[in-house]
Structure 1
Amino acid sequence: MSPPHPLSWLEPHAARRRAVGLRRELSPRAAADGVLDLAGNDYLGLSRDPRVVDGAVAAARTWGVGATGSRLVTGTTELHVALERELAAFCGFADGLVFSSGYAANLGVLTALSGPGALVVSDAANHASLVDACRLSRARVAVVPHNDPAAVDAVLATRREERALVVVESVDSVDGDTAPLRTLHGVCRARGALLVVDEAHGLGVRGPGGRGLLAEVGLAGADDVVATVTLSKALGSQGGAVLGPAAVTAHLVDTARSFIFDTGLAPPAVGAALAALHVLEAEPERPAAVLRNAAVLAAAAGVPAPPSAVVPVVLGEPEVAVAVARRCRERGVRVGCFRPPSVPEGTSRLRLTARSDLTEADLARVREVLAEILAPVGLR
């Protein structure tokens, strides 16, 4: 008897996912399809802003379309350094280091600052990039209930390790709620732990002028706080960065594998992110518009207004969420659809994301579509 084909297990796995509504498919979108986008993370509407596009084009013409090598070889341009300096200053930190993605930034900072003989305390709702970083860290990892400083304190009280990190998202990427950063920082400081905060969904939405939730609560630049940010959401570009004390970024240059062994962020993405940062500095009213529009979207969906751009509409089973998202798309509104393992079993949902550039006509369209489609599932 010949052995089975080494990939023969794939189709049975795919069939099981299809049966429970968990099969995922790529859905290419046209450049201009007339669909109102409430699924992406372009919170400030800057990905197509002419000033941001011009920043990308100018960088491409000056530096080329690729970084040509890792940051430690040829992949660091003067433009990278300018973005690091200006982004850190904007968010209130001493220094910054740009990575090729927010995912790579999270992998880099956690693995480089922990390791064997360290303790990492991770919020149960943390993004997959943070979960993967914990797995790769080779540290002792303790997962605690979402937004529970008492649970964090209880774990830190049992600490035997020399170093400890507590890692949390400032704004939850799925539920859109905010972390109790002041309380968490108090626990960390009392226990001698470093607080690492992923500001992916905070930058451009929360804090004075969109500087993030850490700036809002007065913790930006603290010597025992490190932040990560993404350039692919509010700044409409691509890439990520770690912000913190200069000693931290210097250590990452020496030890973060996702920095050392990765090609540097492409210059057009750097130029676009820098241009978007300049737009945000010049137009600090944009973050407030995001929150106003998020409240309108929430009211249209019949759910509480969030403290962020993320509006979750929990529907229960994945088949229901997929069907509702498809109907919204057919009616000209694109919404996110989150299913396990992205969310816990029984909490599949739509994820609506607000943008600062939504018009009154856009919002009226959303009200009409959601009223029609959510009524049959008992939410309107």
Structure 2
Amino acid sequence: MYERELAALRRSGRFREPITADPEACDMASNDYLGLAHKRKLLKHACNKVAHYPYHGPKSSLFVGGYHPIHAEFERALCEANGFEAGVVAGSGFLANLGLIEALVRRGDVLFIDESYHASGMAATKLVQGQVVTFSHNDSDDLVTKLAETDAKRRRIIAVEGIYSMEGDMVKREFFEIAEWFDALMIVDEAHSSGTVGPNLLGVFDYYGITPKAHHIKMGTLGKAYGSYGAYILGSEEVVSFLHNRAKPLIYATAPSLFDIALAHEGFGYIGARKEKLTHKIEKRKDIVEEALGFRPEGMIVPVPMPDIETALRIRDALRVEGYEVGAIRPPTVPSPILRVILRTSIKPKAYRRLFAHIEELMHG
């Protein structure tokens, strides 16, 4: 049925298959930034927490009895630490973005979304009732121009990422100021910034010292720095209540796994208790990137440009033979192919030095 399409994907170098990481390799491909997915104590504590209750599965949606004390405890902890009024857990980052954008952009509204926003957000734009305007990546001038061209009476919503998942750059502080100037709601996808930046490792609000206001919405995932699976949305009581009543991925899906939320809560506490030590490790790995590649990453994502898809795949496979796992990211996910190297605190700095030296040799050898 799809033979021709699959053949075309193979010819173009865009064919994908599931990859099982080698547990013996240096994992520089996953988003387990702080190595929490390997912490057995966190696993044990989460298991004990769930086992304390008479049932271990949520059994239904949040609004038909599936809301559990484990969900509520984690939401409260996130709100207290991040300074938001209310929160809600979601099944995944993809579902959280889909629900947020589809629910909040009503008829007559205008969504302004960064052209590099995650695919989940872009998928959601196909479902909204309002108008969708993309602006150039991390370009505040382009956003201001496009905001100024819209009717001031219409509700405006801006969607950005804290750290962009492919470019690895951080949203500019002026985007927060622009949202205030234009009285716009602001969605900040902190999937890759929560747990990796800021004095408390809470993300870009923390990094810039911004106190959340009623027009701010923060989304974060649990499958990256927190070492689990799932997502959360933080905002004002009004916004979260609206999502409870309008966000389809919250209403029509079984509530998030109790174990995954419990495990994320353990990871969240672990990060808070060790933020200084973890920050030191993060900065040390950024130092190595600066020495090897001549730039300092803003987060823990290091994109290494490749001349073409074939080279990206060849170098990825050669590195795998040497015991290194890195991502070969190809169009249409990115405009041009890259090797995506993830800085992880559980991998020793000397391994990154060797990796970047290997890439240099393979590029010019």
Give the TM-score band, short-chain normalised.
Answer: over 0.9
Q: Secondary structure at the match of 2:57?
A: coil
Q: Distance in 1 between matches of 2:12 and 2:332?
A: 12
Shift of 1:295: 3.4
Shift of 1:65: 4.4
Shift of 1:314: 0.6
Matched, 1:88 2:79: yes
Amino acid at match of 1:244: G
- Aligned residue for 2:44? 54
- 1:181-216 deviations in Å (ceiling 9; x for gaps): 3x1122222212111111111101111210111122
Aligned 8 A contact 2:21 2:27 in 1: no
Q: Distance in 1 between matches of 2:180 and 2:305?
A: 36
- Aligned residue for 1:275? 266
- CA change 1:184–1:369 in 2 (3 A) is closer
Shift of 1:316: 2.4
Matched, 1:372 2:362: no
- Aligned residue for 2:64? 73
Matched, 1:38 2:28: yes
- CA change 1:113–1:327 in 2 (3 A) is same
Aligned 8 A contact 1:111 1:134 in 2: yes
- Aligned residue for 2:137? 146
Higher mean displacement: 261-270 or 61-70: 61-70
- Aligned residue for 1:244? 235
Matched, 1:137 2:128: yes
Aligned 8 A contact 1:303 1:313 in 2: no
Q: Distance in 2 between matches of 1:366 and 1:170?
A: 24
- Aligned residue for 1:331? 322
Aligned 8 A contact 2:331 2:337 in 1: yes
Q: Paired residues, what number? A: 362
Among 278, 286, 295, the alignment partner of 1:294 is 286
- CA change 1:234–1:220 in 2 (3 A) is farther
Higher mean displacement: 84-93 or 305-314: 84-93
Q: Distance in 2 between matches of 1:153 and 1:46?
A: 40
Q: Distance in 2 between matches of 1:307 and 1:112?
A: 31
Matched, 1:20 2:6: no
Structure 1 residues not aligned, in runs of 5+ = 1-6
Amino acid at match of 1:40: S
Q: Secondary structure at the match of 1:47?
A: helix
Matched, 1:113 2:104: yes
Shift of 1:369: 4.1
- 1:150-184 deviations in Å (ceiling 9; x for gaps): 11111111223621101000111111111113x11
> Which residues of 2 match residues 176-325 of structure 1 at below 5 A?
176-181=168-173, 183-285=174-276, 286-297=278-289, 299-300=291-292, 302-325=293-316
Q: Distance in 2 between matches of 1:338 and 1:316?
A: 12
Aligned 8 A contact 1:56 1:267 in 2: no
Greater than 6 Å deviation, 4+ residue runs: none
Shift of 1:298: 5.4
* Coordinate RMSD, CA, aligned: 1.7
Amino acid at match of 2:234: L
Amino acid at match of 1:289: K
Q: Secondary structure at the match of 2:325?
A: strand
Matched, 1:351 2:340: yes
Q: Distance in 2 between matches of 1:174 and 1:303?
A: 18
- CA change 1:258–1:287 in 2 (3 A) is farther
- 1:110-152 deviations in Å (ceiling 9; x for gaps): 1221122110001111111111122222220011001111111
Q: Distance in 2 between matches of 1:241 and 1:220?
A: 18
Amino acid at match of 1:377: M
- Normalising by structure 2, we get a TM-score of 0.94
- Aligned residue for 1:3? none
- 1:292-340 deviations in Å (ceiling 9; x for gaps): 213324544x352201000110112111111111111111010011100
Shift of 1:364: 2.3
Q: Secondary structure at the match of 1:104?
A: helix
- 1:85-121 deviations in Å (ceiling 9; x for gaps): 1012112212111001111111111122112211000
